[in-house]
Amino acid sequence: MHSIAIHGGAGTLPRTALTPDREAAYRVGLSSALDAGFAVLEAGGSSIDAVATAVRILEDDPLFNAGRGAVLTIEGTVELDASIMDGRNLAAGAVAGVSQVRNPVALARAVMDHSPHVMLIGTGAEAFARTRDIELVTNDYFKTEARREQLRRMLGGGAHPVNELSSLGTVGAVACDKAGNLAAATSTGGMTGKRCGRVGDSPIIGAGTYADNASCAVSATGHGEFFIRTAVAHDICARVAYGGATLSQAVEAVVMKRLANMGAEGGVIAVDGNGRIVMRFNSEGMFRGARSSDGTQMIGIWPDREE
């Protein structure tokens, strides 16, 4: 069975925070990324192409905290992180702290495919982007009025920003293609009001992203510091590979117990080599969607509102 799942971030998301129009807009954004990724799989394309396609669309959608529409640092700038991993051969690419790359996931893919490295950061990553014809934009391209307002509210509130980290909208995808190959990708602006230079879990292979044909593919979203410390994505894969857990048992243990016990909000999407998808979060909501060749198709935001 081939299948794909995507997320658009997890966090505190009261139903009252989304007007019907806004909720509809999120659902449209998620659907278009999901359908584009699924179309790659349907056409016999690889899981790595499917996740790159879906994440790129979400990066271009200003509703999500990745690419255009990403959250702002404490200095009002945008710094982006992304990663991608191929479960066939454990090839991986990541970028962190880039401020001019329109689609960080495309640059992460280029690092994987065209460099001997796994992770490039900041200006060095952007210099590499120039050699690969990756589109560069000004930092202002990423900034939306909604994110400016979010930062103003945070700074105006008098609370120290680290106590008010708000990150909703990180994006990611996992997929299993017709050949049973797995892949995962994640992209984010991080957390609102973060210190410049802060790097979260999303570009860290093993924390925010991991894919191994021997177990599963995982993309995470949530309070990145905790996700790094618990190596979330690799922990889930390891429980499946060596611990005899099913994918849903592994996800349950990590998201609902290990992370929840630390007070770490967030969730993951995951898929195994049979195309079975698991999506789980310990926060109020997680923007998400899934499509499989068995006809499964859903977009969800809250735990009990799935279709």
When the beta carbons of 53 and 202 are compared against ligand ASP, the nearer one is 202
Which residue ranges make up the site for ligand ASP (CB under 6 A)?
Answer: 9, 167, 170, 188, 190-191, 200-202, 208, 221-222, 224, 227
Reading the block at residue 154, the tokens are: 């945070």
Q: Find the shortest distance in angstroms from Cβ 13 to ligand ASP.
A: 11
When the beta carbons of 177 and 201 are compared against ligand ASP, the nearer one is 201
Note whether 74 and 22 are within 8 A (CB).
Answer: no
170 is a catalytic site residue: yes
Q: Which of 12, 16, 73, 170 is catalytic?
A: 170
When the beta carbons of 69 and 190 are compared against ligand ASP, the nearer one is 190
Orientation of helix 20-42 relative to helix 47-60, angle to 10°? 150
SS3 289: strand
What backbone torsions phi and psi does residue 173 show, to the nearest 5 degrees? -150, 150
Q: Find the shortest distance in angstroms from Cβ 293 to ligand ASP.
A: 28
When the beta carbons of 128 and 287 are compared against ligand ASP, the nearer one is 287
Exposed, middle or buried: residue 265 (CB in 10 Å: 0-12, 13-18, 19+)? buried
What backbone torsions phi and psi does residue 113 show, to the nearest 5 degrees? -85, -30
Check the CA dihedral 153-155-159-163 and report its sign.
positive
Q: Find the shortest distance in angstroms from Cβ 225 to ligand ASP.
A: 7
Q: Which of 83, 93, 39 is nearest to 59 (CA)?
A: 83
Q: Find the shortest distance in angstroms from Cβ 127 to ligand ASP.
A: 23
When the beta carbons of 103 and 192 are compared against ligand ASP, the nearer one is 192
Q: Find the shortest distance in angstroms from Cβ 186 to ligand ASP.
A: 8
Q: Tell me the DSSP string of 95-161.
A: EEEESSBS-HHHHHHHHHHHSS-SEEEHHHHHHHHHHTT--B--GGGG--HHHHHHHHHHHHT-S-G
Positions marked catalytic: 170
